[in-house]
Amino acid sequence: MTVNGKVVAITGASSGIGAATARHLASLGAAVVLGARRTDRLERLVAEIEAAGGKAAAIRVDVTRPEDLHSLVKSAVERFGRLDVLVGNAGVSRISPITELEVEGWSAMVEVNVKGILHGIAAALPVFRGQGSGHLVTVVSTSGLKIVPTQAVYAGTKNAVHTLLEALRQESTDGVLRTTSISPGYVRTELIDNAVDDPAVREQARQHMADLGIDPLAVARAIAFAIDQPDDVEIGDLTIRPTRQG
């Protein structure tokens, strides 16, 4: 498998899809560099991976800060000699009708979901160009594929990222850069915990997620599949959702 020996940096790595991806890629022989704000969780995850014989490092990353993404990339290069893949996974969601004017929530989604990805591209692209290869794997969402009420701004941020990556792909057909968009449906993660203010609605959403959502490992396997392709093969888009999701 070409995953073996690759160096992969992951944002939003302290839980959910990010943590599952770190564990899975490390089990396949990748060296993983984990970024998130909750460093206590990162440290436990690094210890877990190393105890299982894997290679891992961690650094505090707030994707709204460009310098944190540069530090993540720099850490990967200094610790493991290169960076082969950046998995842009950090994301936030606020669910509400536009008419409720959740301006603060809108700003947070734009800062994390859109600008956070751009900050990662800005940090990783010079390294990829310098070493002659690199892969951007970005976690988007099926919310951008099926537009529904209360998720307009969230879906907008995800569609914006998909558009950015497609344009970057067309600008990068010299064989150096690969881009992949992963669109998960309902996944059992903590994303919903801060998406809704109303406790009753939040608990209902959690129950729905628990009943319908798939394990984050399923998304981690999809990410590994995209990374595992030969250098001349690019998996542009992957959608992964529960079979019962409408």
What tens digit of pLDDT does each residue of 90-136 get? 999 988 899 999 999 999 999 999 999 999 999 999 999 999 999 99
Tell me the CATH number at 170: 3.40.50.720
Q: Average pLDDT in the 137-163 region?
A: 93
Residue 239: phi and psi, rounded to 5, are -110, 130
Residue of 58, 56, 177, 66 whose CA lies nearest to 120: 66
10's CB contacts (< 8 A; 6+ apart) are 18, 21, 22, 32, 33, 34, 35, 87, 89
Active site residues: 154
Residue of 124, 90, 116 whose CA lies nearest to 8: 124
Q: Look at residue 99 in the predicted model and tell me its pLDDT.
A: 94
Domain that holds residue 169: 7-186+215-229
In a domain, 209, yes or no: no
What tens digit of pLDDT does each residue of 160-191 get? 999 999 999 999 999 999 999 999 998 987 76
In a domain, 239, yes or no: no
In a domain, 235, yes or no: no
Report how many domains make up the chain.
1
Q: Look at residue 181 in the predicted model and tell me its pLDDT.
A: 97
pLDDT at 197 over 80: no
Q: How far is CA 82 from CA 9, 72, 147, in A?
A: 10, 12, 39
What tens digit of pLDDT does each residue of 10-37 get? 999 999 999 999 999 999 999 999 999 9
